[in-house]
A and B are shown apart, each in its own frame.
Chain A
Amino acid sequence: MRPARLLLALAPAAFVAAFALYPVGVVLVRGLGGDGLGGEGSGLDLAGTLAVLTEPRTLRAMWTTVYLSLAGTAVSLLLGLPAAWALYRLRWPGARTLRSVLSVPFVLPTIVVAAAFTALLGSSGPMGWLGWDQSPAAIVAALAFYNVSVVLRVVGTAWAGIDPRREAAAATLGASNWQVLRNVTLPALLPAIRSAAAVTFLFCATSYGVVLVLGGSRIATIETEIALQLTLFLDLRAAAVLAIVQLVFVGAVIALTGAGRTVGLSAAATGGRRARAAQTPAILAATLPAVALFAVPAIALVERSLRTADGHSLANFAGLLAQPERAALAVPVGQAILNSLAAGAVAAALAVGLGLLVVTLLAHQSRGARALDGIVALPLGVSAVVIGIGVLLAYSATALGGSWWLVPAVQTLVALPLAVRAMAPAARAVSPRARAAAASLGAGPWRVWRHVDWPALRAPAGVAAAFAFAVSLGEFGATSFVARPDAPTLTTAIYRLLGRPGIESVGQAFAASVVLAVMVAAVMMVSERAASARALEREWGGRA
């Protein structure tokens, strides 16, 4: 890499090093027994590590993580596969609309998903009679809520891409519909199903907000146990050891399955054949469960956000601007919204700025650039909670401790890989010959970038900014560790309010969730409109 480029690479590399590598290093040191980097008495204490590892609480959290993730994956596939057939393989009036409706859950912040299922299954919820509050069933349902869209996207697009003549060929050889499905279609879909299952499993295993809210104090996964150890028992050591467990676990899942924490967002479905009237019952049976899983909690959330002590009104929404009565929140929710918008704007600007550096270097295809790409993608292999606790441990004793800037910093880290992925294809598509031509006409490196690269990157950069903004608005896992109680973001405010007793606090939590959902949906919609439809293969991932 030439010196000038090395200098450009320094900014993103330094950022990732400061807010991911170093904090994860601190977690490792703390978890393995050291008191800090270079501090006195920083020897290893593996006996202490082992003691935490063999605690019944720890073992239970590991087991819970595995079985909840398996169950969440199974239910997502069970509901998603038939729906993928009906929505992507067949064409019928309404299929397109339903496809976009069912892609909504995936962009909803997890704290909103958690709030929606609390609204539905809580003791005063419309389905509270199920007694699923604080039960594994509620968590599994919530995990399936947003992972069905993963299955739909990954398997549905693969299904739409299967050549119908391949199946016709089997039929001319005497295969009945079931035999075609079993012997031709499923084998062709298997890679997509496997990859959807792997990504879903990973999302489930790193799900934080959903388990924290719906599991209460009864059900803890590794991810939430980290938080409980830290906030409830003030046991930094145990939290750090659990963070190492989560690092290893996520790393193992990625290594074994090859899953990345990203999913293509393109919902384009070109193929498909017109559904026959006789298929109507099958289509209904295939789509209704998935639609119900989305619609019922969403409706419950809206209903509860309007519900007050005496009927239904907009009082909860009006209350968002008022100072909360009891010690629920230090500031009005309105202030938390402003905090979120400010942090999101900073994070989006940083993610796009650093991302532009990365993709510009990537476009020149040097070996160093690929290494940089790998470094920037690292946060995808680390759960947001681990990043949160790492940053907290690394910086709480420094001048940055408690700083507001840590919030946009961790959000940038989560958004950066997504921003890079959104812009990289466009950057790679710029012809090196166009650059050479510009240079031969007298343009220096900066003006080559300005007049050749930037025009191609402008639209994807806009999309990347919108994504980064939306992700930051909804980010909860890492943010919950670094946001100060007196300066909550919208997600941490919702979490606080959900945990308070009383119809007013909970009503405000639901109202705030609706506001957050609308904000995120609006950002996504605007970006989707703005982006030229064919220009990008957009990517999304890194939920927390």
Chain B
Amino acid sequence: MSDLDVAGLSVVYPGSPPVTAVDDVSLHVARGEIVALTGPSGCGKSSLLAGIVGVAAEQGSARVTGTVTWDGEDVTAMPVHRRGFGLVFQDGQLFEHLDVAANIGFGLRMARVPRDEREARVAALLETVALQGYGARRVDELSGGQRQRVALARSLAPGPRLLALDEPLSSLDAELRASLAVEIRRILTEAGATAIVVTHDLAEAEAMADRLVRMDAGRLVAGEA
């Protein structure tokens, strides 16, 4: 089977007793599809995302079991940086010591893309997220909405096979959220990206995604096909 396949994934945080955040979840995402993962807070949707991308162990020393495959290739044991899965963090996690352009170009620099090619791609992405002329700005001068758009552009830059977005809008105010949700939908569709968006807001989920998957207490409850 091609595309993203998650089989029997569990994410367990250590402690006494250990906390099972994700409990034996299986999920299929087709190429070019945008799936929204919704559910009440604490239901394990962010942990599922972290488990798929491979950062769960980095974040809270979580134990991840089960398999994640892409185009039939098992990537479960593959280090995060080789998976080609991008992640947009809830709070952006921009690099404060770099300017906007360097943030967006970070992944390209890691992949040793030549400078002029990198600059052209960054310029194009700045346009995509409607931040033309912001390249030389410090990231701490940006508004919340601008920061999240930089984070999105940064994750898109290296051309990830799968883009994961973890509550990308939750730190923004209501009005901005509605408009940015539509914008994200447009950007992702234009990029032809395969994406999973975590959100607790149903309206937001419907604005951004092709399909909704609900989660509760670590398990998928509906919509999974």
Complex Cα distance, B111 from A175, in Å, reads 8
Residues on A with C-beta less than 8 A from B55 are 165, 168, 171-172
In the assembled complex, B132 has its CB within 8 A of some CB on chain A: no
Nearest-neighbor residue (CB-CB) of A165 within chain B: B93
CB within 8 A of B80: which of A171, A183, A187, A274? A171
Residues on B with C-beta less than 8 A from A172 are 53, 55, 80-81, 85-87, 155, 160
In the assembled complex, A42 has its CB within 8 A of some CB on chain B: no
Residues on A with C-beta less than 8 A from B95 are 166, 169-170, 183-184, 187
CB within 8 A of A170: which of B59, B61, B106, B111? B106
**Contact call B97/A166, Cβ cutoff below 8 A:** no
Residues on A with C-beta less than 8 A from B82 are 174
Complex Cα distance, B154 from A169, in Å, reads 10
**Contact call B87/A169, Cβ cutoff below 8 A:** yes
Residues on A with C-beta less than 8 A from B44 are none
Known: A169-B93, A173-B107, A175-B110. A273 touches B81 (CB 8 A): no
**Contact call B61/A91, Cβ cutoff below 8 A:** yes
Interface size on B, residues (CB 8 A): 31
Classify chain A's interface size. 20 to 34
Complex Cα distance, B59 from A41, in Å, reads 73
Residues on A with C-beta less than 8 A from B53 are 172
**Contact call A164/B59, Cβ cutoff below 8 A:** yes
Residues on B with C-beta less than 8 A from A175 are 81, 106-107, 110
Residues on A with C-beta less than 8 A from B58 are 164-165, 167-168, 171, 273
Nearest-neighbor residue (CB-CB) of B105 within chain A: A173
Residues on A with C-beta less than 8 A from B87 are 168-169, 172
**Contact call B97/A188, Cβ cutoff below 8 A:** yes
CB within 8 A of A173: which of B54, B61, B86? B86
Mask, A310-350, CB within 8 Å of B = 1, is: 00000000000000000000000000000000000000000
In the assembled complex, A179 has its CB within 8 A of some CB on chain B: yes
Mask, B84-97, CB within 8 Å of A = 1, is: 11110100010101
**Contact call B81/A176, Cβ cutoff below 8 A:** yes
In the assembled complex, A235 has its CB within 8 A of some CB on chain B: no
Residues on B with C-beta less than 8 A from A171 are 54-55, 58, 79-81
Complex Cα distance, B107 from A180, in Å, reads 11
**Contact call A187/B158, Cβ cutoff below 8 A:** no
**Contact call B14/A168, Cβ cutoff below 8 A:** no
Complex Cα distance, B64 from A274, in Å, reads 14
Closest CB in chain B relative to A170 CB, distance in Å = 7
**Contact call B97/A187, Cβ cutoff below 8 A:** yes
Closest CB in chain B relative to A433 CB, distance in Å = 34
CB within 8 A of B61: which of A168, A174, A183, A274? A274
Complex Cα distance, B185 from A314, in Å, reads 80
In the assembled complex, A163 has its CB within 8 A of some CB on chain B: yes
Complex Cα distance, B62 from A273, in Å, reads 10
**Contact call B59/A168, Cβ cutoff below 8 A:** yes
Closest CB in chain B relative to A406 CB, distance in Å = 50
Complex Cα distance, B60 from A180, in Å, reads 18
Closest CB in chain A relative to B133 CB, distance in Å = 23
CB within 8 A of A165: which of B54, B84, B85, B89? B89
Nearest-neighbor residue (CB-CB) of A190 within chain B: B97
**Contact call B97/A173, Cβ cutoff below 8 A:** no
Residues on B with C-beta less than 8 A from A274 are 14, 61
Nearest-neighbor residue (CB-CB) of A174 within chain B: B110
Residues on B with C-beta less than 8 A from A184 are 95
Mask, B22-64, CB within 8 Å of A = 1, is: 0000000000000000000000000000000111011111000
Residues on B with C-beta less than 8 A from A187 are 95, 97
Complex Cα distance, B79 from A176, in Å, reads 8
Complex Cα distance, B59 from A174, in Å, reads 17
**Contact call A179/B110, Cβ cutoff below 8 A:** yes
**Contact call B155/A174, Cβ cutoff below 8 A:** no
CB within 8 A of B93: which of A166, A174, A179? A166
Nearest-neighbor residue (CB-CB) of B85 within chain A: A172
**Contact call B158/A174, Cβ cutoff below 8 A:** yes
Complex Cα distance, B2 from A478, in Å, reads 76
Residues on A with C-beta less than 8 A from B89 are 165, 169
Nearest-neighbor residue (CB-CB) of A170 within chain B: B106
Complex Cα distance, B84 from A175, in Å, reads 10
Task: Output the residue of B53, B82, B93, B109 with the most chain A CB within 10 A.
Answer: B93
Complex Cα distance, B86 from A164, in Å, reads 16
Kindly list 7 other residue pairs between chains A and B, CB separation below 8 angstroms, not including A180-B81, A183-B106.
Answer: A164-B59, A169-B89, A171-B54, A173-B81, A173-B106, A173-B154, A184-B95
Q: Rank and list the top 5 A-B pairs by shortest CB-CB distance, nearest first.
A: A173-B107, A171-B80, A274-B61, A168-B55, A169-B93
Q: Residues of A with Cβ closer than 8 Å to B?
A: 91, 163-177, 179-180, 183-184, 187-188, 273-274
